Amino acid sequence: MSGSSLLGATPATVALDASLEAYARRFRDRPGRAKPLSPQLRRLEAESIFIMREVAASFEKPVMLYSIGKDSSVMLHLALKAFWPSPPPFPFLHVDTTWKFSEMIVFRDLIMKKLGLNLLVHVNEEGLRRGINPYASGSGLHTQVMKTESLRQALDAHGFDAAFGGARRDEEKSRAKERIFSFRSQSHGWDPKNQRPELWTLYNTRKAPGESIRVFPISNWTELDIWSYLAEEEIPIVPLYFSAQRPTIERGGQIFMVDDDRTPLAPGEAPQMRGVRFRTLGCYPLTAAVESPAADIDAVIAEMLTATTSERSGRLIDHDESGSMEKKKREGYF
């Protein structure tokens, strides 16, 4: 079966299929690079690769969280490079809330297939049965049940002892203080006052049975580093990051995309087509779009250099209350 027939042969999906096929071929043919990676990104890349190898060598059952976003795309790319010619010696895990943009799911399944990687998808079925959803349950409960609890379920079910996450220290205040190797108790809790000192590159990978470690290999990358790396390495990402005419509605001063028929519309309300893109990707009811004409990566970077709001400002779950990210992390969120 060809990729295009799998997707329904729209020009966009044919293009995606071709770009992911070309991407996968790079790791088979290893054509070499036209021009060297800029030195600063090369240093960040080497640091991340070091961390990934350290985990592969020190843990029995690692897993890489794959959330389909741009940071995950960078992590996946780094994992492919770190172990080459071996494939990444761990599976990938997507915690699916069932509210991701449909384009994300298409992208996820296709890239994993092209790369021949082992992707595990976990959905909190119990949460689904309880009818948890971002509209009726609110962003807080939805995130708690469908992301945090779901992640814990998946880690426990498979017995993973180390999990890579794509968090960056520049994203949020409590992230800035998290270690690269972040120790979690048996109940996956994070104790910010009891973190292990992390000196040089000597990461302490020791833990008792049942405990686990979350590892953040791109801790020291900034949003700009991520975009520059995506550009220089020509890494494919979900097209939602680039501007296109999309059906949208406005809620509380922010623009949301109507991704499917689950978005409740007010009587007489009709989605409007707007030229929008996304700076981060999460659950579509919780992720606001920005109006932008930036349709390719250079335009996105140019816009970012003059941006006046932070990347996570479009994430509703961060704004529930002060210190909310720290609370979620203590409960086991990434």
Partner 1 sequence: MTSALNARHLASADKGLLRFITCGSVDDGKSTLIGRLLYDTRLIFEDQLASLQMESARRGARGGGIDFSLLLDGLEAEREQGITIDVAYRFFATGRRKFIVADTPGHEQYTRNMATGASTADLAVILIDARKGVLVQTRRHTFINHLLGVPRIVLAVNKMDLVGYSQARFEEIVADYMAMAAGLGFKSVTPIPLSALEGENVIAPSALMPWWTGESLLGFLEEVEVEDARLASAMRFPVQWVNRPHLDFRGFSGTLASGALAPGDPVVVARSGKTSKIRAVVTADGDLDRAEAGDAVTLVLEHEIDISRGDILCAPSARPTVARQFLSHVLWMHEDELQPGRPYLLKMGAQSVQAVVSAVRHRLDINTLSPAPAETLELNGMGLCEITTLQPVAFDRYRDNRETGAFILIDRFSHQTVAAGMVEASLQKATHVYSQAMDVSKPARSVLKGHKPAVLWFTGLSGAGKSTIASLVERRLSLMGAHTYSLDGDNMRQGLNKDLGFSDADRVENIRRIGEVARLFVDAGLIVTASFISPFRAERDMVRSLLEPGEFIEIFVDTPLSVAEQRDPKGLYRRARAGEIGNFTGISSPYEPPVDPEIRLLAGEGDPAAHAATVVEYLRIAGVLARAEDAPLEFSI
Among 66, 227, 284, 333, which residue sits at the site for partner 1 (rule: CB under 8 A)? 227
d(CA 120, CA 98): 14
Of 196 and 262, CB closest to partner 1: 196
Contacts 24+ apart (CB under 8 A), 14-21: 16/106, 16/107, 16/110, 16/236, 16/239, 17/110, 19/236, 20/110, 20/111, 20/114, 20/236, 21/114
Of 103 and 161, CB closest to partner 1: 161
Measured from the Cβ of residue 98, the count of other Cβ atoms closer than 10 Å reads 14
Give yes or no for residue 295 binding partner 1 (CB under 8 A): no
Among 15, 18, 176, 244, which residue sits at the site for partner 1 (rule: CB under 8 A)? 176
In the complex, minimum distance from the CB of residue 162 to partner 1, in angstroms, rounded to a whole number: 14
In the complex, minimum distance from the CB of residue 103 to partner 1, in angstroms, rounded to a whole number: 24
What are the phi and psi torsion angles at 120 (to 5°)? -105, 135
Of 173 and 251, CB closest to partner 1: 173
Contacts 24+ apart (CB under 8 A), 244-247: 244/275, 244/276, 244/277, 244/295, 245/273, 245/274, 245/275, 246/273, 246/274, 246/275, 246/276, 246/289, 247/271, 247/272, 247/273
Alpha-helical regions (H) of 165-205? none
User: CA-CA-CA-CA torsion for 166, 47, 213, 167, nearest 10 degrees?
Assistant: -20
144 within 8 A of 47, measured Cβ to Cβ: no
In the complex, minimum distance from the CB of residue 283 to partner 1, in angstroms, rounded to a whole number: 20
Of 72 and 219, CB closest to partner 1: 219
In the complex, minimum distance from the CB of residue 305 to partner 1, in angstroms, rounded to a whole number: 5
In the complex, minimum distance from the CB of residue 95 to partner 1, in angstroms, rounded to a whole number: 25
Of 41 and 162, CB closest to partner 1: 41
Residues 240-259 that bind partner 1 (CB under 8 A): none
User: Would you call 72 exposed, middle or buried from its count of C-beta atoms within 10 A (0-12, 13-18, 19+)?
Assistant: buried
Q: Is 125 helix (H, G, I), strand (E, B) or coil?
A: helix
Of 168 and 274, CB closest to partner 1: 168
Residues 312-331 that bind partner 1 (CB under 8 A): 313, 322-323, 326
Give yes or no for residue 174 binding partner 1 (CB under 8 A): yes
In the complex, minimum distance from the CB of residue 183 to partner 1, in angstroms, rounded to a whole number: 8
Among 5, 159, 187, 206, which residue sits at the site for partner 1 (rule: CB under 8 A)? 206
Among 12, 21, 61, 81, which residue sits at the site for partner 1 (rule: CB under 8 A)? 81
Residues 27-66 that bind partner 1 (CB under 8 A): 27, 30-33, 37-43, 45-46, 49-50, 53-54, 56-57
Q: Which stretch binds partner 1 (CB under 8 A): 114-122, 130-138, 175-183, 265-273?
A: 175-183
d(CA 291, CA 274): 7
d(CA 221, CA 238): 20
Among 1, 11, 60, 86, which residue sits at the site for partner 1 (rule: CB under 8 A)? 86
Residues 105-164 that bind partner 1 (CB under 8 A): none
Of 81 and 122, CB closest to partner 1: 81
